[in-house]
Structure 1
Amino acid sequence: RADAQSVRAMRAKVEAAGGTLVMLAAPEGFMREVGAWGTAPKTIDIMRRLKKAFDPDGVLNPGRFVV
C-alpha cells in the first residue's frame, strides 16, 4: 500500500526522467491528496480552453480531467 509521500517521491523521479505517473485507482481522499494526473503539462492553458469550448457547463467527466 502506497502512502502520499511515496507516490510524490516516485512521481518526481518519473517526471525527472521525462515520464508521467497517473493514478488510475485509489481511494478518493488519497487521489485528491496526491493528484491523479501529476504535474500539469505546459499546455494546460490550451487544454483548459478546449475543455471550456467543448464543455462550457462542465458536465462531461466532472472532476476527472486534468483541467
Structure 2
Amino acid sequence: MLTSVRETLVDTHRAWHPKTYEELIEPLDLTDRAAVAEALLVLRVGAMVAGYLGDPRDRPARTCGEARR
C-alpha cells in the first residue's frame, strides 16, 4: 500500500513540473513549449544537485542552498 501511495505522489509531482513550466512560458508563444519545459526542468534538477552536493564554499552551491531556505 505504501509503495503505491509513494508512486502516486512521485508520478503526480513529476507530471506537475513540466506542466507548470509549460504554463509559465505559454505567453512567450514558443513553438515547442514541451522541449523548453523539459530544459527548464533539467536546469532546476542541476541546480538542486549542485546545492546538495557542491562545496558550500562554491558560490553556485551556496546560492542554491540559500534558495532552499
Could you tell me the TM-score, scaled by structure 2's length?
Answer: 0.23
Higher relative contact order (CA 8 A, sep 6+): 1
Could you tell me the TM-score, scaled by structure 1's length?
Answer: 0.24
Richer in helix (by share): 2
Greater CA radius of gyration, 1 or 2? 2
